[in-house]
A and B are shown apart, each in its own frame.
Chain A
């Protein structure tokens, strides 16, 4: 199965190891991973700030760069939501472009969604080298992706030595919100401090955050305010379990 990776600009620069974990896990499960190097940004910051024309330019570019890809997989929930929720509307005035956008949308998957819906992976034969208690931050933009159940938790629970502990107010936003975080630091700071406190109270060693922006936000607040947990993408935990090496490459 051929998969084209949409790494997203934040992950490219700030969390490349997440990208590599995505590559390694996808390859492990038998995907041929391809990285179209012309990709830049999905346009979400422009769109959310009220610049739809600029977002549209970048959306057109995205669609062009990933033309011909069987599946487009991204580790960032909000970028996936941008594509799915807003790309079709951006081209509402042009039936041909809109059709292209819809086809692009249909081939685009968030990482966990791709593992569970398309690859249908089973992680029960894998094991982490050391026991890890993880909790899960429900990134907001997954709401729009109809991932409102907890497929990510269910998936990670299959891994041996990987124990889920619940997070208080798990569905409360972390306060990132793109430019919101820098424009309204007082409010954003109060919200993310709350998230760090909830994370600490969960006593988890790892908080799973499947979105580049949320991870920077919660990680940065955790560092500032004494967070007792590490912020990780699900792909990193899965990659660690694969390296744990107890299982076969079965899927």
Chain B
């Protein structure tokens, strides 16, 4: 980090994940009113959600495949120590080197140390969420190294000094016009918003940097313990350039990325591309095992695998273990009605959407992101979309419970739910509550039986929509009337009268 930043304000406690947008409510208010963002997201993520459905429906047994993928992940996580050791052993056996990092600082230091030892000055990088988690680029630049993002989206963000807003489509929040402006300023060229021209600009520039680079950094989609291989899925070919052209290849992974065997890989490859982008496979699927071997012409001289914890072991030990199944496909973001209205940045950290709402508080602490587990309608679209069957809504509810237990929920809220529950435990108090509500609400001004302004904690409702005025008679009254009518008509059937149920 630049020194000036730390001088301005006292350093906050170090969080496992960097937080770029600390005020969820403020950001949500702005983005919820941003119609052009909603239109852009409908044109991208909503469409991707539909192509995911279409692509999965074409599989003979998509449900079975998702269950299998979820079970493989569960099994691996249940035996994570074993599989990580196996992975390490097999990477070493193929001439690679393995480093374990307890947190992102250690992981950054490891990359810097490798760069120094190998005399690397220019680093090219393919897309990696874990590197975003580490704020790797900042760390490398602070160490005097030059690093270039080579995924087009990430490159745009690097030039724009901004952050990804989606797991697989990082610049989904930017229009072509904005990208054109960023490139015009960066490359000192006349403005254009023609996507192919912009892509070509980046391509020509990056092509040279690939050639000059000393080190390539990549993420890892899957690490195969049995063979010591890593698998990287990309659509632009930049991943392959980063991992084959430079002298040194450093791959960074969260410790949950390991899978047992090569035969498990197709299960995930089939699901990943379909779920992420509605493709059968990504354009490039690279399986890399160790550095260049004697007699081979291509490939790096050194291969390093950095396996990072940064809080994952703690998550593994608790009730939220299933979150570590995530393969970062972004399907839950695409399916989420809330993501479609607030975009990725509102979620605060680099992990947005439903899965982000879960893992960001898990990494950084429940008190740090108290809105995230609540800012969900629990509609379940994420669970339905998840290729590894993470029951996100159930875990969001669990997290709300943990907030209550940790005293993060307000005293007023706890008091309200206590009173509410008590009221519903008795017929008379339920009736009293319903009658009081009806009498009170029927006194509020209403138009066509719709109330436009509610007081107190309910005012949020009527800020954005009207509230139904309770009719003069509730169901119980109509029911009694109905029963009386039936008795009067001497209709012998269906007369059970009002029965308590608590005899």
Contacts and interface: CB of A to CB of B under 8 A. Distances in A.
A61 B474 contact: no
A169 B452 CA distance: 27
Instruction: Give the secondary structure class of A's interface.
Output: helix
A216 interface: yes
Contacts of A51: 401, 404, 417, 421
Contacts of A216: 467-468
Given A38-B502, A217-B465, A16 B379 contact: no
Contacts of B380: 140-141, 143-144
A9 B434 contact: yes
Interface stretch (B248-256, B257-265, B305-313, B455-463): B455-463
A14 to B, nearest CB: 5
A180 B437 contact: no
Given A48-B397, A144-B380, A190 B33 contact: yes
Contacts of B478: 16-17, 19-20
Nearest to B27: A186
Interface stretch (A62-70, A105-113, A117-125, A154-162): A62-70
A175 B337 contact: yes
Interface in A38-95: 38-41, 43, 45-52, 54, 57-58, 61, 64-68
B473 A190 contact: no
A13 B438 contact: yes
Given A9-B434, A172-B337, A221-B464, A17 B471 contact: yes
B381 interface: yes
B29 interface: yes
A160 B226 CA distance: 63
A13 B498 CA distance: 18
Contacts of A67: 501
Contacts of B470: 13-14
A166 interface: no
Interface residues on B, range: 35 or more
A48 B32 contact: no
Interface stretch (A27-35, A127-135, A200-208, A237-245): A27-35
A247 B138 CA distance: 74
B118 to A, nearest CB: 48
Contacts of A250: none
Contact of A27 (B38, B371, B399, B494): B494
A55 to B, nearest CB: 8
B29 A188 contact: no
B450 interface: yes
Given A38-B502, A180-B377, A187-B342, A192 B465 contact: yes
B468 A14 contact: yes
Interface string A161-204: 00000000101110111111111111111111110000000000
A68 B402 CA distance: 36
A244 B494 CA distance: 23
Interface residues on A, range: 35 or more
A11 B434 CA distance: 11
B30 to A, nearest CB: 9
Contacts of B476: 12, 35, 37
B202 interface: no
Contacts of B496: 32-34
Contact of A186 (B33, B384, B402): B33
B46 A187 contact: no
A77 to B, nearest CB: 12
Interface in B77-99: none
Given A16-B477, A19-B475, 15 more contacts: A9-B424, A16-B471, A38-B502, A49-B400, A50-B397, A51-B421, A175-B337, A177-B376, A184-B375, A185-B461, A185-B464, A187-B338, A219-B450, A224-B450, A224-B465
19 contacts: A12-B474, A14-B468, A15-B468, A20-B479, A45-B417, A46-B420, A46-B421, A47-B397, A49-B400, A49-B417, A50-B397, A54-B421, A143-B384, A172-B46, A180-B375, A184-B28, A187-B375, A190-B32, A220-B467
Closest 3 CB pairs of A and B: A177-B377, A189-B464, A50-B400
